[in-house]
C-alpha cells in the first residue's frame, strides 16, 4: 500500500493550492478528485466561467450603450452566443489543464475517483470504472467544497429550474429569466442574462440585496442594476414553482399580496451548502456543526487526529481565496510551520457593473455594535480618471476606529472595485490607519486616487470634495 505524508480530498482552490504548497514543502502528497477535471467548483462551474461571461456580456453592453459616448460607432451589435460560450469553455480548459500541470511540477500524485476515509490514516479511492485503491497517509485534508442549495418546492430539473451550473451554459438567452435570491451568484448571473437580452426579475426574501455587504452601497448597486433593466422584488417569499408547458410559474408572497411570475427559466440561487456525501467522515467520528459544516479548530484540525478540513466545507465565507489561504495555512501547520488566516481581511466581491467589493466591517455592523468609528467617503464622480473613462458611478467608503484611526472596513462600488479593494485589504492586513493610506502617494490619474481620498475623508481632509 502506497504511503503519503498528506492526502487531500477535493481539487478545488482549497485542495489544489494545499497540494502545491505541500509539494513545495517536500511532503509526499496525493490529491483525489471525483470529477473529470481538476479545479473544483471555482474553475469549472463557478468563479472562472461566471467571470468569463460577465466580461463578454459587459463588452456587449459597452458596444450597445456606451461606445457612442466615446465617439465609437458600432451599428447593431449582436451576440454570437455559441462563440461566447466557447470562449468561456476555453478559458476553463486552459486553467484546469494548468492545475494538472502544476500537480506534475510539484510532484503531487493525482488520483481520479471518489475519496473516502476508511480509518484515520486510511483512504480509499473508487474510480468511475468501479476499481478501488487503498492508500495510507499521515495526514488527510478534507477539501470537498459545497453544492447549490435546492428549494423543496423548486427542485432543480436542469432545464427550467436550474442552478448556477446550468445558468452558465444556456444556449440562448431566456426570454424571461427569474432569479430567486439576490446574493452574489444571483446578481452576477442576472446581470449576464439581462445584458444578453433576457427580461430579468429577481425575487429576494430580505428587504435588501447583497446581504453581508455595506447596506448603503448595496442599495446604490440595486439602483444601478434597476437602471440597467433588472426588476427587483424585495421582501418577497417564493412559495412554489410549477412547470406548465415547459414554462415556470412561481408564486410568491409580498406583504399581504399574492404574486405570480412566469418565466422561461428560473435560477435558484439561495446559497450553497457544504458537501461531504460519501466521504465517510462521520464513520471515523469527525464532528460536524448544526449546518453540516466540518468542525475545525484554528489550526484546521478536526476532532480526529491527523484529519484536517478547509474551504467551503468548514465555517466562514464560501470564497475561493478563503479556501486557498486556508489550504496554504493548513499544510504549513502540518509541516510544522505557523500558518494562519486573518479572517478580518478577506475581501468579498460581486462582479456586476458596477462591482461591489468589501473587506472588514460594514458601517451598519459598526452601528449595530455601537462602535466608535469615523467614516470617510469619496464619490468617483470627483475622480479625474473615472470621468475620463466615462465610468464615474460609485463610491469608496472607509470605516476607521475613532480613537486609533485603524482601518476596520473598506467598501467600494465601481466598475473596477474587485481590483481596487486589494489596497485597503493590504492596509487592514498590516493593521494600518486611514492616515497611512491617505499619506501614501498614488499615481495620477488613477481610480485608486479615489481610495486615497476616501481615506483622507476620514479626517475630513479630502481634496476634491467638500468635507462634511
Ligand atoms: P470546491 O471548489 O467546491 O471543490 C471541491 C472539490 O472536491 C470538487 O471538485 C469536488 O468534485 C471534489 N470532491 C468532493 N467530494 C469528493 C470526494 N469524496 N472525493 C473526491 N473528490 C471530491 N468565489 C470567489 O471567491 N469568487 C468568485 O467570483 C466566485 N464566483 C462563484 C460563482 C459561482 C457560480 C459559484 C457556484 C461559486 C463561486 N464562488 C466564488 C465560490 C467558490 O467557487 C468556492 O468558494 C470555492 O470553489 C470553494 O473551494 P473549495 O476548494 O472549498 O471547494
Does ligand 1 lie within 6 Å of residue 185's CB atom? yes
Cα 22 to ligand 1 centre (Å): 20
Q: Which residues partner with 273 through β-bridges?
A: 147
Mean pLDDT over the full length of the chain: 97
Summarised one tens digit per residue, pLDDT across range 317-344 is 999 999 999 999 999 999 999 999 999 9
* Mean of pLDDT values over 141-156: 97
pLDDT band at 105 (very low <50, low <70, confident <90, very high): very high
pLDDT band at 1 (very low <50, low <70, confident <90, very high): confident
Atom of ligand 1 nearest to the CA of 38: 9
The residue contributing the CA closest to ligand 1 atom 36 is 46
Ligand 1 pocket: which of 7, 8, 9, 10 to mutate (most atoms within 8 A of CB): 10
Cα distance between residue 32 and residue 38, in whole Å = 9
Summarised one tens digit per residue, pLDDT across range 193-238 is 999 999 999 999 999 999 999 999 999 999 999 999 999 999 999 9
pLDDT at 468: 81
Q: Rounded to 10 degrees, what is the CA torsion of 299, 183, 259, 166?
A: -90
Cα distance between residue 254 and residue 432, in whole Å = 45
Summarised one tens digit per residue, pLDDT across range 153-177 is 999 999 999 999 999 999 999 999 9
Summarised one tens digit per residue, pLDDT across range 390-431 is 999 999 999 999 999 999 999 999 999 999 999 999 999 999
SS3 sequence of 332-355? HHHCCCCCCCCHHHCCEEECCCCE
Does ligand 1 lie within 6 Å of residue 319's CB atom? yes
Would residue 84 be called left, alpha or beta, if left means φ above 0 and alpha means ψ between -120 and 50 degrees?
Answer: alpha
Cα 372 to ligand 1 centre (Å): 38
Summarised one tens digit per residue, pLDDT across range 230-267 is 999 999 999 999 999 989 999 999 998 999 999 999 99
Whether residue 289 is predicted with pLDDT greater than 90 in this model: the reply is: yes
Does ligand 1 lie within 6 Å of residue 11's CB atom? yes
Cα 39 to ligand 1 centre (Å): 8
Instruction: From 308, 302, 296, 320, select the one nearest 16 (Cα to Cα).
Output: 320
pLDDT at 27: 98
pLDDT at 454: 98
Q: Which of 321, 340, 444, 464 is catalytic?
A: 444
Percent of the chain with pLDDT over 70: 100
- For 397, the grid coordinates are 467608503
The residue contributing the CA closest to ligand 1 atom 43 is 42
pLDDT at 383: 98
* Mean of pLDDT values over 90-110: 98
Whether residue 2 is predicted with pLDDT greater than 90 in this model: the reply is: no
Cα 429 to ligand 1 centre (Å): 25
Question: Do 268 and 185 contact (CB within 8 A), yes or no?
Answer: no
Question: Do 302 and 293 contact (CB within 8 A), yes or no?
Answer: no
pLDDT at 217: 98
- Side-chain-side CA neighbours of 208 within 13 Å: the count stands at 13
Cα 312 to ligand 1 centre (Å): 7
Whether residue 19 is predicted with pLDDT greater than 80 in this model: the reply is: yes
Dihedral sign, Cα of residue 77, residue 78, residue 81, residue 82: negative
* Mean of pLDDT values over 41-49: 98
In the annotation, is 464 catalytic? no
Ligand 1 pocket: which of 9, 20, 31, 46 to mutate (most atoms within 8 A of CB): 46
Angle, helices 422-429/448-458, rounded to nearest 10 degrees: 50
pLDDT at 348: 98
* Mean of pLDDT values over 55-67: 98
pTM score of the predicted model: 0.98
Cα 412 to ligand 1 centre (Å): 25
Q: Which residues partner with 135 through β-bridges?
A: 123
Own/partner contacts of 364-367, CB < 8 Å, gap of 24 or more, are: 364/214, 364/215, 365/409, 366/399, 366/408, 366/409
Does ligand 1 lie within 6 Å of residue 53's CB atom? no
Does ligand 1 lie within 6 Å of residue 276's CB atom? no
Amino acid at each position: 500500500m502506497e504511503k503519503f505524508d498528506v492526502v487531500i480530498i477535493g481539487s478545488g482552490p482549497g485542495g489544489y493550492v494545499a497540494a502545491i504548497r505541500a509539494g513545495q514543502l517536500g511532503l509526499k502528497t496525493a490529491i483525489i478528485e471525483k470529477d473529470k477535471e481538476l479545479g473544483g467548483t471555482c474553475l469549472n462551474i463557478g468563479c472562472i466561467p461566471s467571470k468569463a461571461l460577465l466580461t463578454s456580456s459587459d463588452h456587449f453592453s459597452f458596444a450597445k450603450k456606451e461606445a457612442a459616448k466615446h465617439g465609437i460607432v458600432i451599428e447593431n451589435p449582436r451576440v454570437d452566443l455559441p462563440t461566447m460560450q466557447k470562449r468561456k469553455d476555453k478559458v476553463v480548459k486552459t486553467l484546469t489543464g494548468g492545475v494538472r500541470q502544476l500537480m506534475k511540477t510539484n510532484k503531487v500524485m493525482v488520483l481520479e475517483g471518489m475519496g473516502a476515509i476508511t480509518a484515520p490514516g486510511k483512504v480509499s479511492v473508487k474510480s468511475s470504472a468501479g476499481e478501488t485503491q487503498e492508500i495510507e497517509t499521515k495526514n488527510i485534508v478534507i477539501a470537498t467544497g459545497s453544492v447549490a442549495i435546492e428549494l423543496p418546492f423548486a427542485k432543480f430539473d436542469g432545464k427550467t429550474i436550474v442552478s448556477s451550473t446550468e445558468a452558465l451554459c444556456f444556449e440562448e438567452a431566456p426570454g424571461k429569466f427569474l432569479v430567486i435570491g439576490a446574493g452574489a451568484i444571483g446578481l452576477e448571473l442576472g446581470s449576464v442574462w439581462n445584458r444578453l437580452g433576457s427580461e430579468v426579475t429577481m425575487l429576494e426574501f430580505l428587504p435588501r440585496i447583497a446581504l453581508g455587504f455595506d447596506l448603503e452601497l448595496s442599495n446604490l448597486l440595486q439602483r444601478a442594476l434597476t437602471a440597467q433593466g433588472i426588476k427587483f422584488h424585495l421582501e418577497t417569499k417564493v412559495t412554489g414553482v410549477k412547470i406548465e408547458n415547459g414554462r415556470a410559474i412561481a408564486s410568491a408572497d409580498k406583504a399581504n399580496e399574492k404574486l405570480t411570475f412566469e418565466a422561461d427559466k428560473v435560477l435558484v440561487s439561495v446559497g450553497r451548502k457544504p458537501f461531504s456525501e460519501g466521504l465517510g467522515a462521520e464513520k471515523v467520528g469527525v464532528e460536524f456543526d448544526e449546518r453540516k459544516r466540518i468542525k475545525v479548530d484554528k489550526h484546521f484540525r478536526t476532532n480526529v487526529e491527523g484529519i484536517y478540513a478547509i474551504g467551503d466545507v468548514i465555517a466562514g465565507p464560501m470564497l475561493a481565496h478563503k479556501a486557498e489561504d486556508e489550504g496554504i495555512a493548513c499544510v504549513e501547520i502540518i509541516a510544522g510551520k505557523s500558518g494562519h488566516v486573518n479572517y478580518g481581511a478577506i475581501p468579498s466581491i460581486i462582479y456586476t457593473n458596477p462591482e461591489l467589493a468589501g473587506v472588514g466591517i460594514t458601517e451598519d455592523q459598526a452601528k449595530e455594535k455601537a462602535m466608535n468609528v469615523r467614516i470617510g467617503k469619496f464619490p468617483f464622480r470627483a475622480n479625474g480618471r473615472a470621468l475620463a473613462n466615462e465610468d464615474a458611478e460609485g463610491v469608496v467608503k472607509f470605516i476607521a476606529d475613532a480613537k486609533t484611526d485603524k482601518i476596520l472596513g473598506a467598501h467600494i462600488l465601481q466598475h473596477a472595485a474587485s481590483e481596487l479593494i486589494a489596497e485597503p485589504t493590504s492596509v487592514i492586513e498590516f493593521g494600518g490607519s486611514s492616515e497611512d493610506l491617505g499619506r501614501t502617494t498614488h499615481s495620477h490619474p488613477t481610480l485608486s486616487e479615489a481610495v486615497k481620498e476616501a481615506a483622507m475623508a476620514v479626517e475630513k481632509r479630502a481634496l476634491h470634495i467638500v468635507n462634511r
